[in-house]
């Protein structure tokens, strides 16, 4: 049996996503900007908390669609700081695994999960919970995704989008979510 080769675009080396991928195949972690010269050596590319926009030529050059792990319930809160915006705009809270397309967090959805929080939670504690939710969802479903058992679905509705610069200055990440 051939070993899978994964490229994880992420800064989260200690994540369960990295540990899981490393347990089922050869995994390279990259936080810098991806270059096309690396692509042919990987079977699957997974983006998780990746800070760079993946260019059209990269998306078109890969063997399989790039999988993205996003801590929002798409189509709501595409882009930066989705956790903050879900509370500020009172939109659904959750996590989404989707294929990357040429837009920002607009690709077909593979699987989603809504997340629930306690009244005493803060932006920081909800962020950590969302990370835990997306990592668990990924590890439980990855083999089904790459095996084609989970069919991608087009995103429905307009949702919302935010740039990094949209975040108000001085946000207190320890603020109670009921005070946002």
So what's the pLDDT on residue 38? 76
- pLDDT at site 135: 97
100 alpha carbon, distance to own chain's centre: 10
For residue 23, the model assigns a pLDDT of 95
pTM, entire model: 0.95
Q: Looking at residue 72, what is its pLDDT?
A: 98
H/E segment holding residue 26: strand 25-30
Question: Given this model, what pLDDT does residue 12 score?
Answer: 85
Distance CA(174)–CA(151), nearest Å, equals 38
Instruction: Provide the pLDDT for residue 136.
Output: 98
Asked if 55 and 33 touch (Cβ cutoff 8 Å), the reply is no
pLDDT below 70 — which residues of the chain?
1-2
Query: 119-155: per-residue pLDDT in tens?
Result: 999 999 999 999 999 999 999 999 999 999 999 999 9
- Taking the domains of the chain in order of start, what are their residue ranges? 4-179
Residue 2 confidence (pLDDT): 61
* pLDDT value, residue 85: 98
Given CA atoms 96, 77, 108, 56 in this order, what sign does their dihedral have? negative
* Tokens 């705009």 sit on residue: 89
Written as six digits, the tokens of 99 are 């294929």
Give the architecture-level CATH label for domain 4-179.
Answer: 3-Layer(aba) Sandwich (3.40)
Nearest CA to 115 out of 129, 98, 128, 136 is that of: 129
Residue 39, pLDDT score: 86
């Amino acid at each position: 049996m051939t070993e899978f080769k994964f490229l994880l675009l992420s800064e989260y080396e200690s994540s369960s996503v990295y540990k899981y991928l490393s347990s089922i195949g050869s995994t390279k972690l990259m936080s810098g900007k991806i270059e096309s010269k690396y692509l042919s050596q990987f079977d699957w590319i997974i983006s998780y908390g990746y800070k760079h926009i993946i260019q059209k030529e990269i998306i078109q050059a890969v063997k399989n669609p790039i999988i993205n792990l996003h801590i929002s319930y798409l189509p709501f809160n595409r882009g930066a700081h989705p956790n903050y915006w879900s509370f500020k705009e009172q939109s659904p809270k959750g996590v989404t695994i989707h294929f990357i397309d040429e837009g920002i967090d607009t690709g077909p959805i593979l699987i989603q999960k809504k997340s629930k929080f306690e009244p005493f939670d803060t932006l920081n504690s909800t962020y950590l919970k969302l990370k835990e939710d997306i990592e668990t969802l990924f590890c439980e479903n990855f083999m089904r995704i790459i095996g084609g058992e989970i069919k991608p679905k087009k995103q429905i509705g307009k949702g919302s989008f935010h740039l990094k610069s949209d975040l108000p200055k001085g946000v207190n990440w320890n603020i109670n979510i009921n005070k946002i």
